[in-house]
């Protein structure tokens, strides 16, 4: 039976070569199986027939049984015509109107035959009319396989223009079920179907396309969503198990001198319970024979860097080199400054390699990496260059990993015969549902407490009309010796406009905060790296009171004395970006503030973002709202979103089904790692089909 589903789509009765080409190009439908899996995106309830005297002026679509008794062409405007038909039932009459395709519509209309019309009604001068209705002979309507709930399929403008309407797709779907006789192979084992009381695959496919009731539709959706998410989880969990089995890592068995010396004598503050738990998880991973692949999530300011540094010390104690890769020079420099202070106390050799590292310094770095005397290298993409060779790289820490593509990360991975342990860090909290789907093959550690003594940042939303009060507040804070960030949005497409916004802002701030009482720094993407560093240095040394910047400062800037973050045109920022920017303050012991400035004109989504920021400081809560507003594809960027090319499930709306699918996938694999048991034969064969096209990228998270 499965073979018929591989038949090219043009062989389906009613398709043919030109329609087949359109299906392929527009919807990616190549064969029968693809059409079966084209699920409706909504349904119209066709259980009720209305009478003309019951019609209301609403946007609902209705169906009416009656007859066309008269057809005429009416001229209106300049050289314009419309086709008008008088339609009656036993309660009254109304007009049907067509503005396009009049010639062939007129030919197809039959007078005095019982038909069913379907569409939206509008009222004009007390009489109802329906524009471009769907019309079906009553006899045909009764015989059709169409159910009470009518499916509405995804389509494109091109398809509609070429006459492939929703009704056409519906008819083709009926034809497909007739040709395949609905003999679909079961894709889940009996024990799962029984335990979860699922309907069969055959029943589910029939009821997703032709549901007889809302109850039948709900059962079909649940079955198909569970199956889709279950197989994604099987793939991800198996990938992790295979990785641990196949890909050997360096066992770091020793907790040595450097780690203990630092822990006992040089820790800048007591570790939180969460940090201790995470370090223990990392130690366990790196102590085994398998390569570590761990995602370290922690909100802004939760102390991920100290955890990364202690992991680096474990690698050094076992005689290996380490690297930390960051997506931007500013972030790499921040890490370098922070880690150098810690490394100095232990006399470690640490260097930085970025695009602006001078040639002479590069030579020294290349040499020391190859002879093993350089223990820690911090860098940007420059670390991926072929010239960069390590003597024995044991641990690679990757910061803000979603900014690196898979291929870039794999270059780092290939710099050793035995791949290094990988610790991926992110300050962008990833909602649990997304983490389960995208990073289900990574082990995840979460630092979910802030260091003691940190006060939660107070966030307020102010309109531009409140600016005078806001400026007074800034003067008061500066008088207390605090420093201020004022950030302007950066939207790449209009860099010149952004630059103008920033410069206009800078000029008006300079007028309101004049020299010599106040001093202002400026930071933007068009500046040379040396100038950026100089401005950043002036601000961090307290020589300037205000830093006017674009989002260049979004990650990694650490000035404990800065207590106020003003975000201009906050409605132009996404939630995670607003949260990242807010995290630049609140790093000292003083109370910090974040002020979101917007105009009064805001979209509903913008209002929700402002309300969310004011209501909570919890990055995971914010990420959940962000996921609802933007959807998984947008949230993860192009690099990651391909994973979630889901056909029916939605990881935001169906997070309970996702949790259930993951639990069952874990249980199946805990009892049968290689899917060798007879009862798991179905799972194994589908898993093999799904992974046929995959390659080594599977092992690189």
Q: 699 pLDDT band (50/70/90 cuts)?
A: very low
CB 53 within 8 A of CB 91: yes
Q: What is the pLDDT of residue 695?
A: 37
Q: Which residues contact 667 (CB under 8 A, 6 or more apart)?
A: none
Q: Which residues contact 101 (CB under 8 A, 6 or more apart)?
A: none
The alpha carbon of 636 is separated from its chain's Cα centroid by a whole number of angstroms, namely: 4
For residue 493, tell me if it sits in a domain.
yes
Verify that 407 and 492 share a domain, yes or no.
no
SS3 assignment for 187-219: CCCHHHHHHCCCCCHHHHHHHHHCCCCHHHHHH
Domain of residue 335, residue span = 257-447
CB 574 within 8 A of CB 563: no
Q: Whose CA is closest to 555, among 296, 308, 299?
A: 299
The per-residue pLDDT for range 310-319, each reduced to its tens digit, is: 999 999 999 9
Verify that 51 and 108 share a domain, yes or no.
yes
CB 153 within 8 A of CB 41: yes
Q: 553 pLDDT band (50/70/90 cuts)?
A: low
Q: Is the pLDDT of residue 678 over 90?
A: yes
Q: What is the pLDDT of residue 610?
A: 96
- How large is the average pLDDT for residues 470-482? 95
Highest mean pLDDT (candidates 206-215, 275-284, 412-421):
275-284
**Residue where one domain finishes, among candidates 412, 447, 482:** 447
Verify that 538 and 400 share a domain, yes or no.
no
The alpha carbon of 167 is separated from its chain's Cα centroid by a whole number of angstroms, namely: 33
Verify that 361 and 503 share a domain, yes or no.
no
For residue 39, tell me if it sits in a domain.
no
- Strand pairing partners for 65? 116
Find the helix or strand (DSSP H, E) in which 55 lies.
none
Beta-sheet strands, E only, within 454-499: 458-463, 483-487
Q: 169 pLDDT band (50/70/90 cuts)?
A: very high
CATH classification of the domain holding 267 = 3.40.50.300
Q: What is the pLDDT of residue 647?
A: 84
- How large is the average pLDDT for residues 157-176? 89
For residue 373, tell me if it sits in a domain.
yes
To the question of pTM greater than 0.75 for the whole model, the response is no
Q: Is the pLDDT of residue 556 over 60?
A: no
The alpha carbon of 291 is separated from its chain's Cα centroid by a whole number of angstroms, namely: 27
Angle subtended at Cα 287 by Cα 286 and Cα 289, rounded to the nearest 5 degrees: 85
The number of domains in the chain is 3
Q: What is the pLDDT of residue 1?
A: 46
- Report phi then psi at 43, rounded to 5: -135, 150
For residue 309, tell me if it sits in a domain.
yes
Verify that 471 and 358 share a domain, yes or no.
no
| 153 token code pair | 């399929």
CB 649 within 8 A of CB 658: yes
> Residues of the chain with pLDDT > 90: what percent?
50
If you ran DSSP here, which 8-state letter would residue 247 be given?
S
For the chain, the average pLDDT equals: 86
Query: Sheet containing 421-426: which strands, arranged edge to edge?
Result: 350-353, 376-379, 321-325, 393-399, 421-426, 293-298, 443-447
**Residue where one domain finishes, among candidates 413, 447, 481:** 447
Verify that 494 and 385 share a domain, yes or no.
no
The per-residue pLDDT for range 625-656, each reduced to its tens digit, is: 887 787 665 544 433 434 456 788 877 778 78
For residue 203, tell me if it sits in a domain.
no
Find the helix or strand (DSSP H, E) in which 20 lies.
helix 16-27
For residue 517, tell me if it sits in a domain.
yes
- How large is the average pLDDT for residues 46-54? 85
Verify that 342 and 425 share a domain, yes or no.
yes
**Residue where one domain finishes, among candidates 130, 145, 160:** 145
**What is the distance between the alpha carbons of residues 21 and 131, in angstroms, rounded to a whole number?**
30
Q: Is the pLDDT of residue 257 over 60?
A: yes
Verify that 467 and 440 share a domain, yes or no.
no
For residue 185, tell me if it sits in a domain.
no
Verify that 471 and 412 share a domain, yes or no.
no
Q: Is the pLDDT of residue 359 over 70?
A: yes
- How large is the average pLDDT for residues 569-584? 89
For residue 296, tell me if it sits in a domain.
yes
**What is the distance between the alpha carbons of residues 219 and 149, in angstroms, rounded to a whole number?**
14
Higher pLDDT, 607 or 641: 607
**What is the distance between the alpha carbons of residues 153 and 169, in angstroms, rounded to a whole number?**
7
Verify that 499 and 433 share a domain, yes or no.
no
Q: Whose CA is closest to 427, among 314, 298, 602?
A: 298
- How large is the average pLDDT for residues 514-519? 93
CATH classification of the domain holding 115 = 2.40.50.140
User: Locate tokens 């496919």: which residue?
Assistant: 205
Verify that 395 and 491 share a domain, yes or no.
no
Q: 404 pLDDT band (50/70/90 cuts)?
A: low
Write the DSSP string, 268-293.
SSPPPHHHHHHHHHHHHHHHSSBPPE
User: Locate tokens 């639990």: which residue?
Assistant: 663
Q: How far is CA 494 from CA 498, 569, 571, 670, in A?
A: 6, 15, 16, 52
CB 227 within 8 A of CB 187: yes
Low-confidence winner among 193-202, 549-558, 682-691 (lowest mean pLDDT) = 549-558
Verify that 338 and 436 share a domain, yes or no.
yes
CA within 13 Å, CB half, 478: 19
- How large is the average pLDDT for residues 28-34? 92
Percent helix / strand / coil, the chain, rounded to 5: 50, 20, 35
Q: Is the pLDDT of residue 509 over 50?
A: yes
| 493 token code pair | 């497409």
């Amino acid at each position: 039976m499965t073979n018929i589903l591989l038949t090219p789509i043009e062989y389906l009765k009613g398709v043919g070569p030109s329609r087949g080409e359109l299906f392929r190009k527009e919807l990616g439908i190549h064969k029968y199986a693809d059409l079966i899996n084209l699920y409706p995106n909504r349904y119209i309830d066709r259980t009720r027939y209305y009478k003309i005297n019951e019609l209301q002026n609403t946007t609902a679509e209705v169906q009416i049984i009656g007859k066309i008794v008269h057809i005429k062409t009416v001229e209106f405007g300049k050289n314009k015509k419309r086709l008008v038909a008088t339609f009656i039932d036993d309660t009254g009459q109304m007009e049907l109107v067509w503005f396009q395709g009049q010639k062939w519509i007129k030919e197809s209309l039959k007078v005095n035959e019982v038909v069913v019309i379907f569409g939206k009604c509008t009222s004009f001068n007390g009489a109802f009319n329906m524009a471009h209705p769907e019309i079906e002979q009553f006899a045909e309507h009764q015989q059709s396989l169409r159910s009470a709930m009518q499916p509405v399929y995804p389509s494109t403008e091109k398809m509609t223009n070429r006459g492939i309407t929703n009704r056409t797709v519906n008819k083709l779907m009926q034809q497909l079920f007739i040709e395949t006789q609905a003999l679909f192979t079961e894709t889940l084992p009996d024990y799962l179907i029984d335990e979860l009381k699922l309907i069969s695959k055959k029943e589910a496919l029939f009821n997703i396309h032709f549901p007889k009731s809302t109850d039948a539709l709900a059962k079909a959706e649940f079955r198909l969503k569970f199956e889709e998410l279950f197989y994604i989880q099987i793939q991800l969990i198996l990938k992790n198990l295979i990785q641990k089995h196949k890909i050997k890592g360096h066992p770091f068995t020793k907790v040595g001198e450097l780690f203990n010396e630092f822990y006992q004598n040089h820790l800048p503050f007591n570790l939180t319970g969460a940090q201790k738990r995470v370090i223990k998880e990392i130690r366990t991973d790196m102590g085994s024979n398998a390569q570590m692949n761990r995602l370290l999530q922690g909100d802004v300011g939760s102390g991920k860097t100290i955890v990364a540094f202690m992991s680096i010390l474990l690698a050094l104690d076992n005689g290996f080199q380490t690297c930390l890769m960051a997506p931007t020079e500013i972030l790499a420099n921040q890490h370098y400054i922070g880690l150098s202070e810690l490394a100095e106390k232990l006399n470690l050799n640490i260097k930085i390699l970025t695009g602006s590292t001078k040639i002479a310094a590069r030579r020294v770095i290349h040499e020391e990496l190859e002879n093993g005397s350089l223990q820690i290298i911090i860098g940007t993409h420059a670390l991926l260059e072929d010239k960069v060779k390590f003597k024995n790289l044991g641990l690679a820490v990757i910061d803000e990993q979603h900014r690196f593509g898979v291929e870039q990360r794999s270059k780092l991975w290939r710099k050793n015969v035995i791949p290094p342990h990988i610790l991926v860090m992110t300050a962008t909290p990833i909602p649990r549902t997304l983490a389960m789907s995208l990073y289900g093959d990574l082990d995840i550690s979460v630092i979910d407490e802030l260091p003691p003594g940190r006060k939660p940042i107070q966030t307020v939303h102010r309109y531009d009309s409140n600016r005078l009060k806001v400026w007074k507040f800034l003067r008061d804070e500066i008088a207390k010796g605090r420093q201020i960030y004022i950030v302007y949005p950066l939207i790449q497409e209009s860099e010149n406009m952004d630059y103008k916004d920033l410069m206009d802002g800078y000029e008006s701030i300079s007028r309101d905060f004049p020299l010599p009482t106040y001093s202002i720094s400026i930071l933007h993407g068009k500046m040379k790296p040396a100038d950026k560093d100089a401005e950043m240095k002036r601000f961090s040394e307290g020589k300037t009171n205000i830093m006017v910047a674009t989002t260049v400062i979004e990650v990694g800037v650490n000035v404990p004395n800065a207590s106020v973050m003003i975000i201009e045109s906050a409605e132009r920022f996404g939630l995670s970006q607003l949260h990242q920017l807010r995290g630049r303050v609140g790093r000292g012991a003083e109370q910090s503030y974040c002020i979101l400035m917007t105009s009064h004109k805001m979209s509903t989504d913008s209002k929700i973002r402002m309300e969310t920021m004011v209501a909570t400081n919890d990055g995971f809560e914010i990420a959940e709202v962000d996921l609802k507003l933007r959807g998984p594809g947008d949230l993860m960027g192009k690099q990651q979103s391909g994973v979630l090319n889901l056909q029916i499930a939605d990881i935001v709306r169906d997070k309970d089904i996702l949790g259930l699918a993951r639990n069952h996938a874990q249980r199946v694999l805990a009892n049968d790692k290689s899917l060798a048991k007879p009862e798991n034969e179905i799972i194994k064969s589908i898993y093999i089909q799904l992974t046929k096209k995959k390659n080594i990228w599977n092992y690189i998270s």
